Amino acid sequence: MAINTLGILINSFEVSQMSISILHNLKRIKNVVPYVFYNELPEFYLKDLSFTTLSSRETYGYQGYTIATSLYTARQLLECPSPKKKFFYVWDFEWTMKQYNYNEIQDIYLNDELTLIARSEYHKKLIDNCWKQSIIIEDFNHEQLTRLFK
């Protein structure tokens, strides 16, 4: 039986709902070996983690399923040749809070290499109407994350 590995690519662990959801659910995930790849990691999250943390540079050689969590990390993930399957977890709509070039956003959201993940039915409707079909995984739910491997 093959071992399923799941990498999550983040900008940094910070005190946020997304970071708390990731921490909470990766501790509970079953039959999957989780990794978190980071661009910046504060010292206070280095203790008592139940999963491996690695620099984002390591994604270039990582061959498991990988989830980007922002426009920036999605762009990084698209440049990585090794991940088995690539996802973009649209936690929030960054393009509504900050000015972005439409073509850059379109290149990410419509990229065939990325499967889009919505965090709720409401987010799914918006993503599907604006970009392309997405799947729902509510707030990084550990049971729903394992469905990615089926």
Would you say the C-alpha torsion 47, 51, 52, 54 has a positive or negative sign?
A: negative
Q: In whole numbers, what is the pLDDT of the chain averaged over residues? A: 90
Give the model's confidence band at 94: pLDDT under 50 very low, under 70 low, under 90 confident, else very high. Answer: confident
pLDDT at residue 7 in the model: 96
Calpha distance 62→123 (Å, rounded): 29
Closest by alpha carbon to 10, among 96, 74, 79, 69?
Answer: 69
- 6-27 exposure pattern, b = at least 16 Cβ within 10 A, e = fewer: bbbbbbebeeeebbebbbebbe
Calpha distance 112→129 (Å, rounded): 17
Give the model's confidence band at 148: pLDDT under 50 very low, under 70 low, under 90 confident, else very high. Answer: very high
Model-level pTM greater than 0.85?
A: yes
Residue 79 has pLDDT above 80, yes or no: yes
User: Residues 48-75: pLDDT tens digits?
Assistant: 677 888 899 999 999 999 999 999 999 9
What angle (nearest 5°) sits at the alpha carbon of residue 70, between those of residues 100 and 60?
115
State what percent of residues in the chain have pLDDT above 90.
70
CATH fold group of domain 4-149: Rossmann fold (3.40.50)
User: Residues 2-49: pLDDT tens digits?
Assistant: 689 999 999 987 778 998 899 889 989 999 999 999 998 766 555 667
